[in-house]
Amino acid sequence: MYERDGLRARQPRAPLPPLVVVVVNWNGVQYLRDCLASLRDSRYRGLRVILVDNGSTDDSVAWTRQHHPGVEIIEAGANLRWAGGNNLAMAQLRDEDGEPLVLLLNNDTVVPEGSLQTLALALAADPQAWLATPRICYADDPARVWYDGGVVGSRSGWCRHAGIRKLAGRLDPQPRYVDYGTGCALLVKHAALRQLGLLDETFHFYGEDSDYSLRSRAAGGLILHVPRALVLHKVSASLGQESPYRAWLRSRSHVHLLRKHWPRRSWPLLALAQAGYFGGHMAWNLWHGRPATALAIWQGAIDELARRKG
């Protein structure tokens, strides 16, 4: 139905499928104000929103109950991180009747009106796709793209966002299949949820979405990217904002992903490609005067290879 280089079919017209949006939150009331307001104003008939609160110490739960009483709240009681928080809701939804689509949505996002409808209809109309993503742009620079599909090098193991920091108006607006979907806004079919199960919580932070996408593809389910559906993400459009701790987490999760999905026979070539991957990231940070971040990239990879806890 869809081709990897684009789709030329008409936008599907069908009744809106039931949709549940899951938002994981930890001390993010400043983000919830805009996120939940955009979902309330989405005009998606029958929309159900679940907030999973990971033991916030701010007034996230009280504020949500006061200002958005229709939002269901699951209180985790502790910081289960992104995967663990989502899994609480996903486990509940997996066993419910009605087979809704499930959108995993970051709390630091804003969803423009019409985007939920466009994304849900596209996924529901495609029997080959199990997951779907919208185009994601920077909230402080909506004309510029943060995510326009995920690319994974099958031999190199390099993972990257397509279209990052490019002007949205210059990119192809047609739906296409991609290698992985970002967990910032990841739509999952109910049948896929039952088939794939929950997110892998052994990824401490980062990589859980790529892992879920690769599991989907291995099971025969494609990932559909729908650029005409838009989400705005509150991240900085400038380069080099990563802290040493975030760099360590990202590096460690990346190696964990490689160990899980790439067979040992591919490791010699993979090791060469990854040397360039990590070396380039380290050199970039050293060039910009961030030796601690450069060291953290290397340390994260070593710690994961050694299976060190921390």
- pLDDT tens string 122-177: 999 999 999 999 999 999 999 999 999 999 988 888 899 999 999 999 999 999 99
- One-letter amino acid for residue 132 of the chain: A
Query: Which residues in the chain show pLDDT less than 50?
Result: 1-10, 12, 237-240
Contacts of 131 (CB under 8 A, 6+ apart): 123, 181, 186, 187, 188, 189, 192, 212, 213, 216, 221, 222, 223, 224
pLDDT at position 36: 98
Instruction: Provide φ and ψ at 301, rounded to 5°.
Output: -65, -45
The tokens for 72 are 């269901």
The residues, ordered by sequence, that sit 6+ positions from 184 with a Cβ below 8 Å of its Cβ are 105, 106, 109, 136, 147, 231, 233
- CA nearest neighbour of 227 among 101, 124, 137: 137
Q: Cβ–Cβ contacts within 10 Å for residue 61, how many?
A: 17
CA angle 9, 10, 13 (to 5 degrees): 135
Q: What is the pLDDT of residue 264?
A: 86
Residues facing 136 on adjacent strands: 147, 231
Kindly report the backbone phi and psi dihedral angles of residue 2, in degrees, each rounded to the nearest multiple of 5, phi listed first: -105, 150
Residue owning tokens 């990119």: 171
Q: How far apart are CA 75 and CA 56, in angstroms?
A: 9
C-alpha separations of 226 from 12, 122, 176 in Å: 12, 7, 7
> For residue 148, which phi and psi values (nearest 5 degrees)?
-135, 45
Six-digit token string for 63: 């504020």
CA-CA-CA-CA torsion sign (89, 87, 117, 30) = positive
For residue 76, the model assigns a pLDDT of: 97
Phi and psi (nearest 5°) for 118?
-65, -45
* pLDDT (tens digit per residue) in 234-268: 985 443 467 898 899 999 999 999 999 999 888 88
Strand (E) or helix (H) holding 101: strand 101-106
User: What is the structure's pLDDT at 236?
Assistant: 56
Neighbour-count burial of 53, counting CB atoms closer than 10 A to its CB (0-12 exposed, 13-18 middle, 19+ buried): buried
